[in-house]
A = this chain, B = another copy of it.
Amino acid sequence: MNESKICYEDRRENWIDSLRSRGYRLTEPRQVVIDVLAYSSRALNAAEIYDSARKKYSSLGLVSVYRTLEKLEELELIQKVHHPDGCQSYIAGFTGHQHLLLCNECGLTAFFEGDDLVPLIDNVSSDSGFDIQDHWLQFFGLCSNCKSV
């Protein structure tokens, strides 16, 4: 798994560079939102980010959280996570073709590669007549910590 390989500090720097190179300014509200999300191993929604980021910068407005999420999503630095009970949370993510793995207990989110889908896609294509362009695959379960409790 690549979960353990992620260097959060690099991610943070990378996001800031991306914003700058697109001409966006680096403000304190944006920094604290980035700090929360770039270091999180689970998907967070706007309110969770807001609560967490206000500990560092108490005058942060919820509106700025939404606007920062908008920018980060536009730059493809984060992605929405769909979950049975809600699909408005965000996780850092996504280089190349990866799929999500979510812990039902603690929310820990990991990615995995899933190239093995090609034969299945071919089968479904020919059976259904669909031209399959995209797919979503998510696994749910218990992470190694939570399953042993």
B87 lies within 8 A of A128 (CB): no
Given contacts A87-B82, A114-B120, A124-B101, contact A140 B131 (CB under 8 A): no
Q: Convert A115-136 into 0s and 1s, putting 1 for each residue whose CB lies closer than 8 angstroms to a CB of B.
A: 0110111011101111111111
* Docked CA distance A124–B111 (Å): 10
* Docked CA distance A136–B130 (Å): 19
What would 19 more interface pairs be, CB under 8 Å, given A82-B136, A130-B144?
A1-B127, A1-B128, A87-B87, A101-B130, A116-B123, A128-B143, A130-B139, A130-B141, A130-B142, A133-B141, A134-B139, A134-B141, A135-B138, A135-B139, A136-B136, A136-B137, A136-B138, A136-B139, A136-B140
